[in-house]
Amino acid sequence: MTAKTKSWILMATGRSPTNIAVIKYWGKRDEALILPVNDSISVTLDPDHLSATTTVAVSPTFDCDRMWLNGKEISLSGDRFQNCLREIRKLAGDVEDEKKGIRIRKEDWQNLHVHIASYNNFPTAAGLASSAAGFACLVFTLAKLMNVNEDHGKLSSIARQGSGSACRSLYGGFVKWTMGNDASGSDSIAVQLAPESHWSDLVIIIAVVSSKQKETSSTTGMRDTVETSPLLQHRAQCVVPARVLLMEEAIRNHDFASFARMTCVDNNQFRAVCLDTTWTWQLIFLNTTRQIAEACFLMKWIIFEVAYTFDAGLNAALISPNRKVAGLASKAAICFPPSPENDLASYVTGDKSIIYEAGLQSMKYVEALPPPPEYKDESPCQKSTRDVSYFICTKLGTGPKVLTEESLALINPTTGLPM
């Protein structure tokens, strides 16, 4: 390692999207390596609305690896962070910055420490796959900083060791996580099925039902399911393999009816294995208000050309073949009206053009429509209306990107600390 100046800081910033599974990952066959019991398929969401941005910095003056998430320092001592840092350091290459007069040889990376600052533009740990975007971004950005010369498949297998579904966030569009067979996990990687341009008119509306932290982690829930659900084995071995093939075909052919059917039935079976699990994970679903919220969604939308899927939290994602769903969004705002103190501008966020087409830019538009008859004051559905915190209108998005503008960096280039 050489440098003309004694102390220097080298940085890279990246942004990675989150994703929502349409064929669900639920259950690990290896907990340490995060190897799943079945393949899964996801859609990558537009990073403008749901993404993690991460800056990584390296300097000989840093004396340990440190990380700040959304401005707060967090521990990197857990296995998931340690596994990602170790695996990416193994692949690090030589780095030269002529302007700064810095030269780092690949063997130097073992002794250099990094500072990491990350920011999610959506609620962390609400079930919106923040760790998927976060670990994909961490691995992708470290790979840029350390000049790792590997394809995204290899990077996806490292991100997987941070958070399973993170491997799918290494690509845009439609992505498959192949479960693999090897005990080392080397073939448990993500592959892109089709880029976002393949089916660009799909519209995705996320109903953020609760932006609070989940009460039971997915890790605990999955472990309980693997240990106690007889249905899981049937799902993994007899159902998902055929369903994955049908989903791939539906995506290839832009066959929305089949895509929607597969998405909904797979969501239902994911819920079924959760219900087939001992009480820890089930607690999440026993909350009546939440069940009612779910029932309302299903009743309201199943008759339209819309796919629904819930994430491992409580948030619903509605996918439509085109902007027709924008009209449905306005219905959603009627079934789940904002609290009096909220205006629509903060209640429905995301792609402004979808919101505009729905007429949702005007609160008056929604107020002018009569509420559906079933939403009487005393009905249980009425009680659930406040459960939707807000809606995010979005679409398919791209994979990770390097952000070159210095103004977007989250670490001060002089102090090496978060901005």
Q: Which of 130, 165, 263, 394 binds ligand ADE (CB under 6 A)?
A: 130
Q: What residues from 81 to 120 belong to the interface with ligand ADE (CB under 6 A)?
A: 118, 120
> Which of 10, 138, 179, 314 is in the footprint of ligand ADE by CB under 6 A?
138
Cα torsion 324, 325, 331, 337: sign: negative
In whole angstroms, how far apart are CA 164 and each of 134, 249, 262, 319, 374?
A: 12, 24, 22, 23, 41
Which residue has the CB atom at the shortest distance from ligand ADE? 134
Window of 133-141, 145-153, 202-210, 357-365 that interacts with ligand ADE by CB under 6 A: 133-141
Residues between 18 and 77 with contacts to ligand ADE, criterion CB under 6 A:
52, 69
CA–CA dist 255, 252 (Å, integer)? 8
Q: Alpha carbon 226 to chain centroid distance?
A: 22
The answer to whether 204 and 319 have CB atoms below 8 angstroms apart is yes
**Cβ 256 to ligand ADE shortest distance, Å:** 32
Question: Which residue lies nearer to ligand ADE by CB, 52 or 206?
Answer: 52
Question: Are 65 and 57 a contacting pair, CB within 8 Å?
Answer: no
**Number of chain residues interacting with ligand ADE (CB under 6 A):** 10
Nearer to ligand ADE, 130 or 157 (CB): 130
The phi and psi torsions of 81 (rounded to 5 degrees) equal: -65, -45
Nearer to ligand ADE, 13 or 130 (CB): 130
Is the dihedral angle over the CA atoms 348, 351, 353, 354 positive or is it negative? Answer: negative
Q: Is 134 in the site for ligand ADE (CB under 6 A)?
A: yes
Burial of 283 (C-beta count, 10 Å sphere; 0-12/13-18/19+):
exposed
Q: Binder to ligand ADE among 135, 256, 281, 308 (CB under 6 A)?
A: 135
CB of 313 to ligand ADE, least distance (A): 13
Question: In the complex with ligand ADE, which residue's Cβ is closer, 159 or 325?
Answer: 159
Q: CB under 8 Å to 345, separation ≥6 — which residues?
A: none
Provide the minimum distance between the beta carbon of 68 and ligand ADE in the complex, in angstroms, as a whole number: 10
Phi, psi of 197 (to 5 degrees): -70, -20
| Interacting residues toward ligand ADE by CB under 6 A | 52, 69, 118, 120, 124, 130-131, 134-135, 138
